Amino acid sequence: MRPTRVRYRVVAFAVALAVITYLDRVCISFAAPDIRRDLSLSEVQMGWAFTAFNIGYALFEIPGGFLGDWVGPRKVLTRIVVWWSLFTAATGWAWSHASLVATRFLFGAGEAGCFPNITKSFTTWLPEREQARAQAALWLAARWGGAFTPPLVAIVMGIAGWRASFAVFGCAGVVWAVAFFFWYRDNPLDNPALNDAERALVRPMSAMSKSHADVPWRRLLGSRQVWMLNWQYFALNYGWYFNVTWLPTYLRESRHVAIASTALLSILPLFLGGIGDPVSVWLISRLTRSGQSVATARRLVARLGFAGAGSFLFLSTRMPNPVAAMLCIALASFSNDFVMPATWNAAADIGGEHTGTLSGFMNMWGNLGGALSPLAIGYMLQATHNNWNLTFYVSAAVYLTGAIFWTFLDPVTPL
């Protein structure tokens, strides 16, 4: 008997959610110039609005991941998506700097735990050999969802203004949450659609669905593996968050690109970033088949990604043509996402039955980097009278530290 493919519906739900996640995240970056104009915000004030999301997201990542280990992703993900959909719509209701910052903070707090719980669902529904491909599909969808947001936002903004665009994108999450809650089960064996062959395939992984509230916090906090994993993700997020915060502003104010061209050029970093994920999985697989250990293959690919991201970001400052500069920024994003499958699969391998908690800890630390980045850029622009090159130099340097952290990371041994 051939196994049924019910487990792949979990991947389909995850892919759809990743698209919605980045639709809701990225729309503010494209709307930022109009938000600044309507609310009379400075660069630093807009930087705080960007950062408020990441602070809320980072602070609640560990609780969100822990809840996934404790009560299961079904209830946690449903709550997450309904919450963030509400505050996506509420972004369009902002009337001042303070209201915008508060709304974005609550949006981030609500979304926290999303990707750790998706990773948790993969570890309980998918055989180990399929989890890396699922992560690649997840991040490909996330990046491409974000990539095609600017043209969609441009269309909606052109019809009804920037405020209405947030309400439109907020509705998509509610539809997903209802469908997910009624179909998904934390233990795959509770789904009657699986045949006996597929049940045999997923039964070893289904044990991960049991409640694991007894997190070994002392071991986790004292582990060099965990801290190397955290710091490399901090470096990865610091450089990448420019693409979903300041990039449209950079194109319009520094490169003097028209708004329609800005929407098209803004696609490139996330589009190429998405391609980096399956290419990374393919290369790791080739390296392991050629005799390299999984740990060595992950280290090689991750260090290559960090080095490429820093180098291409630096090279973009030497390009007088805005299209050439954007190609370099897009290649930096491709290199950035080259690291993603190795990172999230390392979190799953190290965390084991506590994958939700550990990946939440890693994502929290990474989003502290994501929170620092747009704020630091805002202050650098204000202090240097819009010297955008300095912001790229700093991001490139932070990227290069990520390669160092991977040198000391054991990405396969469980806690």
pLDDT at position 260, please?
61
User: What is the model's pLDDT at position 149?
Assistant: 67
* pTM of this structure: 0.74
- What distance in Å separates the CA atoms of residue 210 and residue 187, rounded to the nearest whole number? 8
Q: What are phi and psi of 187, to 5 degrees?
A: -100, 115
d(CA 355, CA 343): 13
Q: What is the CA radius of gyration of the chain?
A: 20
Where the chain has pLDDT below 50, the residues are none
**Which pLDDT does position 287 carry in this prediction?**
93
pLDDT recorded at residue 150? 66
Report pLDDT for 232: 95
Q: Identify residue 184 by its one-letter amino acid code.
A: Y
- pLDDT at res. 171: 84
pLDDT at 367: 82
Q: Note the pLDDT of residue 211.
A: 58
pLDDT at res. 348:
83
SS (H, E, C) 288-324: HHCCCCHHHHHHHHHHHHHHHHHHHHHHHCCCCCHHH
Which pLDDT score is estimated for 400?
95
Which pLDDT does position 278 carry in this prediction?
A: 87
